[in-house]
Amino acid sequence: MDEINPTILKTTIEAIPTLTKENFSSWRTCITALFKLGRVKDQMINGEPALDDTDNTILCAIIIAKLLTTTHNNVVNSTNKDNAIELWKAISKRFILTKPSNRARVYNQFTSIEFDVSNIKKFITEVRASLVKMEDVGIKIEDDIVTYDLLKRLPASLDNIKQAITHSKDAEDIKPSALLDHLEIHMNELKVTASLKKLEVTTMYTEKNKKCSPDKHNPLANHPAERCWLDSNVCSLSTFSSLRPSSFILNSGSTSHMITVNLLSLHQLLLEKFNIQFDINKFSVNKDCKTILEGHYHNNLPLIEFEGIRHQNHLSQAEQLHKSLGHVSYSRIRNKLGITIKPPASKPFEELHLDLIGPIGPMSHKNHKYILTIVNGNTRFCSAIPIKAKSDVYSVLTFLVDTEAKRLGYYPSVIHSDRGTEFVNAGLEEYCKKNLIRQRYSNAYTPQQNGLAERFNRTILESLRTILDDSGLRRTLWNEVLSTCMLTLNQIPTHKRKKSPYELFKGQVIPLEFFRPIGNPVVVYSHQKKAKLDPWGEMGRLIGFDAELKCYRILLNNGHILDTKNVDFLDFKPSKPPEVEHDELFIEERTENLVPSAVSPPESENINVKEEEVEDEEGLEEETREFVTAGEEESEGDEMDVAEALAPANHHPVGRILRDRTLQVKPVKYSHLTALASSDPKTFKKAVLGDKADSWMKAINAELDTIEDHKVWVDQWDTPAKYLNGTWVFKTKPATNSSPEKQKARFCIQGFLQTYGEDYFETFAPTGKFPSLLTLLVLAIDLKLKIRQFDVKSAFLFAPLEEEIFIRTPEGSKRKAPFLKVVKSLYGLKQAPKNWYETLTGWFQEIDYLLSTSDACLFIHHEKNSFIFFHVDDLIVVGRPDEFEELFLRRFPNSSAHDPDTLLGMNVSVHNESITLAQPALIQKGLEVLDMTDCKPVKTPLTPGIQLKPASDAEHECFLALKINYRSYTGMLNYLACRTRPDLASAVSILSRFNQRPGIQHWKEVLHVWKYLQGTKDMGLLLEPRSSDLEERIQFYTDATWAEDQETRLSQSGSIAFWKACPISWNSKKQKNITMSSTESKLNALSDGEQENQWLAFLIEELWHLKLPATIFNVDNRGLVEKLKKFGSNSKTKHLDIKIKALRDKFSKQEIDVRLIPSEQMLADSLTKAAPRQSVRKLQDKCLIVF
């Protein structure tokens, strides 16, 4: 390198761009030129011989200086920072890496290239660069396929190039290079044409006679000049100066090759349905009986002048003034200048504004969940109708419109709504067309465009809540109170009118003396004949009015509702607001659903309400949530849960179909227990001022010190255009075998404020499959390999951040700057898990661990003697853990390495010949929350032989009265069944079917499962591999019921897989189709098991490095075995021939071995139903152990 001319070296270095993930190809070319210039190319590329110290130092400095910060963090480390050859290898490995994410990124860049007619050169450059990148990462696509893809992006104006390529006689010409050459030729031709257009004089033949004269050839003639028999070099010309740029000639197409001025195609105007009318001195361009353009003739050419045409302003008058007057507010424009922002409706019922409130919890006593609001744009008269479902909107709305149209004599001209499918559907569109009603929609996420209805919604809800609190009525009567709210609100004149909306719309006046406070005690007198000693009346409370009959709606003490005028009002003493925090009216955010629902007619009113419906009947349920318990805490990070816990309710994209969600409420029966489980502070202030302020402050300072050590942020003194807020999450980490109990504080970003495309893009980060972990643990015991557990402390802080994100300086920080720029992945950011996954897996590959083809979270050393399985920041290393530990602690300082104790919420016990996995802490916590620690145990998860059905209304109401979150407890059971308790699988599958609408019988069976766990809480999953000819094959047990579900007649499948006598995979699920026989139902189970077997076999072969013999499938149906052995059909099974073909093919090739066993030996029997004790005991003996 010393022999290079300093000037040449400086110029070469300056020409090398900074390396980013987008320009590696050009960067590699430039840096390779530098290597060649210094005569070290072979040494750098091949790694031999070694560089001398001077060249190595110079090249290290140059390479590091040409790296972007993010690239530097991912490439440079302590082992290669002083070695140029190792630096080059690390860079090449990162950018030429053929992992799926890198290949996907390169291919997506290629597919996103768009053709721009105005910038052909850019298209050519991007395509060539992308082709080089694709070749680097190993993406091989045939040249003709790539060429056809690129041809598809070309516009119709380049059809000549498309035809030249696609109709090429030589197939070798169908290559991207040939296409790019054609485009370069076309680009050069455009440049020549553009230079000719700069000429000052335009020449035009204007002689209309097409005949040639002596010594003259007329270009208008039908023959070319070389064939002109008069053969003359002189022709009649007419010339004139070039026209102004604003002048256009109306062109018929026959002169396009002769004129260099602006042309307006006559043919294109005709295609757009314009009508051109030519007169003697002028012509016009018309459309829809309106004159669009006018022109005159110049030198016999139709000419249009655009200079004098005024550009049309598409802004409204109010918008024009708003922008012209320095964006002054619309209210000032309206008040000072007297301009209305939108023309008001000229008469009642001319313009209607629609919206939908809900779903509302609790449902009304008539099962209403929504409120349809209709506001009259002229009179401000508002109607609010309670409805049961969104599908009722059509029938209720059309009934009301038809009724008022009949009264007024005309239909509305406009209805304005949002774009919910209750308003945007074929039925309502057809109705509006039929009655000449124009539909107007607000833009998505722009409620202010329908501000009239939105403001009335707020007024309605405020009035509804206030009346319910003041009156003391049950929340389930909100539909009755709603009609009162609307009647009273319509009695109040608006600020622009002296008359009330009710009088303007109905033409009637209701005396104010008619109204009374809702909830007022009354005595209702009855005209029915009664005994002499019976009371004359009944006690009740006022709940509404009938404006038409001028009477009152009364709720009697016996629960009945009636309309009457014969009442006496007693003294009204407002009741205190309810003190029970669950007795509230909840309004959920409405999610638009673009799938039209069925239409139902308007409901008929039932005025007889039972007493038990009026009493304590809120009908609230809880939202499904994860149950994380003491003892099942993740290790150090808890990153995924912390990040997800910060996100608010999902704002699902329009068009996604969601089930109805329920609301959260604390179960009254167990409130004293749940309060104990959530003693950690919720805010920074409560943490530093509470009883354990010292411990929490120590945890806060430790978290901030860790963040500062990782250099996660830098000061930002100026206020950024957008910044995110942060929050503190506090949690007490319970004691484990490797660490005592301690308080943890985590600072997290409120990632739900991020915007896709601005401060985050891809967010997906895979997680490992649990069967992969079980199989890896079996491998460790079988091959006597050492096992070591590793926990990464503050894992996300190691991952660099590519996007530019700013946050407000967190509470407790010693930094003085008001804002901070985040340069690494803090918890809560949407892209943080993805960045961490890429950082961790990238390091694995640097230390020679390769990604498994079976699982995205399983890595295998290239020498096949060490394995890594990880879930976020928890790592299990099998084989050579001591060598890995040294590298691990060097890469992730302050992290921990220890013998396995707790992993993914499970207690792990490793012995010489076996491993035990158990979750006693989760079971104990569930029993404590249910107050069942002293309950009597039972022998089976479900009552043997029980057939559960959907809950009736009475059963559902009985369960709702308990105020219990059904999903929370089935969720806890599901976590147990998927991890360490296969004996719970069928119970969880069956009980989870009723999560949406549970009944009291379903809840009793949930308690039955917990009683079963009370007696088996000391059991755990046993992994004790054995070696024999039979155990060296994967063994599946598959079984199924037939038409087990009494409502749907669907069957239940169950299967469990063993490898070396260890359970590694199991499931229990409802089948998707109704089967015609028990043979067919068990065929479905066998088919599902065979699909799972394909993946398991591939995983085991990859870990053990052996070719597995045929998997054994144990079934207990003779008809199924006979169907596999020989072809044949009858009326009961002929429809199975096609479905069974794949299984029969594998069976005949001896890829699977299906064996018939007695039903008494079928281990999967208890995975399909509410099995008896003997069946459950067989599965326990095979899979579980008392620890």
The Cα–Cα gap between 97 and 35 comes to 22
Distance CA 668, CA 965 (A): 11
Concatenating the DSSP letter of every residue in 317-332 gives HHHHHHHHTTS--HHH
Alpha-carbon gap, residue 169 to 866, rounded angstroms: 56
User: Which of 635-639, 806-810, 973-977 bottoms out in mean pLDDT, i.e. has the lowest?
Assistant: 635-639
d(CA 316, CA 463): 36
Helices (H), 472-533: 478-489, 501-506
867 located within any domain: yes
Q: What is the pLDDT of residue 1149?
A: 84
For 988-998, write each residue's pLDDT tens digit. 999 999 999 99
| Residue 523 CA to its chain's centroid (Å) | 56
Beta-bridge partner residues of 1053: 1040, 1069
Residue type, 649: A
Of 1114, 1145, 940, nearest to 1030 (Cα)?
1114
Segment among 71-75, 395-399, 622-626 with least mean pLDDT? 622-626
What integer pLDDT is reported at residue 215 of this predicted model? 58
Q: What percent of the chain has pLDDT over 70?
A: 78
Q: How far apart are CA 836 and CA 180, in angstroms?
A: 40
Strands 713-716 and 906-910: unpaired
Choose the weakest-confidence range: 45-54, 313-322, 1160-1169.
313-322
pLDDT value, residue 90: 82
- Cβ–Cβ contacts within 10 Å for residue 421, how many? 18
Q: Is the link from the previous residue into 49 a cis peptide, with omega within 30 of 0?
A: yes
Contact of 807 with 713, CB cutoff 8 Å: yes
Which amino acid, one-letter code, is at 145?
I
- 460 is written with which tokens? 């309605």
Is the domain of 992 the same as that of 1067? no
Could you write out the three-class secondary structure of 695-738?
Answer: HHHHHHHHHHHHHHHCCCEEEECCCCCCCECEEEEEEEECCCCC
Indicate if 552 and 453 belong to the same structural domain.
Answer: yes
Q: Which of 196, 227, 254 corresponds to the end of one domain?
A: 196
**Within-domain flag for 855:** yes
Confidence band (pLDDT; 50, 70, 90) for 707?
Answer: very high
Q: Is residue 308 a part of any domain in this protein?
A: no
Same domain, 533 and 453: yes
Question: Nearest CA to 743 among 729, 753, 764, 755?
Answer: 729
The answer on 916 and 898 residing in a single domain is no
Report CA-CA distances (Å) from 1030 to 123, 508, 738, 1022.
62, 90, 39, 19
**Position 591 in a domain:** no
Terminal CA-CA length for the chain: 69
Helices (H), 76-196: 84-95, 100-111, 120-136, 143-153, 159-166, 176-196
* Residue 877 and residue 1008 in one domain: no
CB distance 563 to 552 below 8 Å: yes
Non-local (6+) Cβ contacts of 213 within 8 A are: 230, 232, 236
* Last residue within a domain, chosen from 140, 171, 196: 196
Q: Helices 176-196 & 143-153, crossing angle to 10 degrees?
A: 30
Q: Are residues 888 and 919 in the same domain?
A: no
Nearest to 926 by CA among 680, 626, 667, 627: 627
Q: What was the pLDDT predicted at 48?
A: 75
Say if residue 971 is in the same domain as residue 1110. Answer: no
Phi, psi of 1140 (to 5 degrees): -85, -5
Cβ atoms within 10 Å of 506's Cβ, excluding its own = 17
* Percent of the chain whose pLDDT exceeds 90: 28
- Report, in angstroms and rounded to the nearest whole number, the Rg of the chain calculated over CA atoms: 39
Q: What is the pLDDT of residue 404?
A: 86
pLDDT, mean of residues 632-645 = 38
d(CA 247, CA 244): 5
Provide the token pair at 736: 């484990």
What kind and span of H or E run contains 431?
Answer: helix 426-434
Using one digit for the tens of pLDDT, what is the confidence trace for 348-357? 888 888 888 8
Dist CA 542 CA 521 (whole Å): 7
Q: How far apart are CA 797 and CA 831, in angstroms?
A: 12
Confidence of residue 204 (pLDDT cuts 50, 70, 90): very low
**475-496: buried (b, 16+ CB within 10 Å) or exposed (e) per residue?**
bbbbbbbbbbbbbbbbbeeeee
Question: What would the pLDDT profile of 145-194 be if each residue is shown by its tens digit?
Answer: 888 888 888 888 888 787 778 777 666 668 888 888 888 888 877 776 66
Count of structural domains, the chain = 6
Binning pLDDT at 50, 70 and 90, where does residue 272 land?
confident
**Are 971 and 1065 found together in one domain?**
no
Strand positions, DSSP E, 347-387: 351-357, 360-361, 370-376, 382-387
Q: Are residues 1119 and 1182 part of one domain?
A: yes
For residue 577, CA distances in Å to 360, 363, 463, 471 come to: 20, 20, 15, 9
In a domain, 313, yes or no: no
Same domain, 1118 and 1159: yes
Contact (Cβ atoms closer than 8 angstroms) between residue 1001 and residue 948: yes
Q: DSSP for 243-262, please give it.
A: PPTTEEEEE-STTTTT--S-
What whole-number distance in Å separates Cα of residue 826 and Cα of residue 751? 10
pLDDT, position 859: 95
Smallest CA-to-CA distance from 719 within 805, 806, 793 is with: 806
In a domain, 272, yes or no: no
Are 381 and 452 in the same domain? Answer: yes
Q: What is the pLDDT of residue 230?
A: 59
Instruction: Name residue 352's beta-bridge partners.
Output: 376, 415
Rounded distance between C-alpha atoms, residue 783 and residue 781, angstroms: 6
The CATH number that applies at residue 486 is: 3.30.420.10
Close Cβ partners of 352 (under 8 Å, ≥ 6 residues apart): 374, 375, 376, 377, 401, 412, 414, 415, 416
Band (631; pLDDT cuts 50, 70, 90): very low
Q: Is residue 221 part of a domain?
A: no
Q: How far apart are CA 784 and CA 592, in angstroms?
A: 57
Residue 451: pLDDT over 70: yes
- Give the helix ranges, DSSP H, for 749-801: 770-782
Q: Which residue has tokens 């406070």?
A: 517
Instruction: Classify burial at 352, counting beta carbons within 10 Å of its beta carbon; exposed 0-12, middle 13-18, buried 19 or more.
Output: buried
Query: Edge-to-edge, what's the strand order for the sheet holding 915-918?
Result: 902-903, 906-910, 915-918, 1019-1023, 1184-1186
Residue 952 within any structural domain of the chain = yes
* 874 bridge partner residues: 791, 871
Residue-number span of the structural domain to which 1124 is assigned: 1025-1187
Residues 1181 and 1105 in one domain: yes
Choice between 229 and 759, residue whose per-residue pLDDT is larger? 759
d(CA 1082, CA 472) in angstroms, rounded, equals 58
Specify the higher pLDDT residue, 529 or 931.
Answer: 931
In tens, the pLDDT along 459-489 reads 888 888 888 888 888 888 888 888 888 888 8
- For residues 89 and 877, the model is more confident at 877
214: number of Cβ within 10 Å: 8
Better pLDDT: 574 or 455: 455
The set of residues, in sequence order, having a beta carbon less than 8 Å from that of 346 and lying 6+ positions away, is: 378
- DSSP assigned state of 827: B
Q: Cβ neighbours of residue 375 under 8 Å, at least 6 residues apart?
A: 352, 353, 354, 381, 382, 383, 452, 453, 456
Q: CA–CA separation, 790 vs 891, rounded Å?
A: 12
Measured CA to CA, the distance from residue 193 to residue 198 in angstroms comes to: 9
Which of 95, 119, 135 is the C-terminal boundary of a domain? 95
d(CA 960, CA 964): 7
Dihedral (C-alpha) 888, 891, 897, 903: value to the nearest 10 degrees? -90
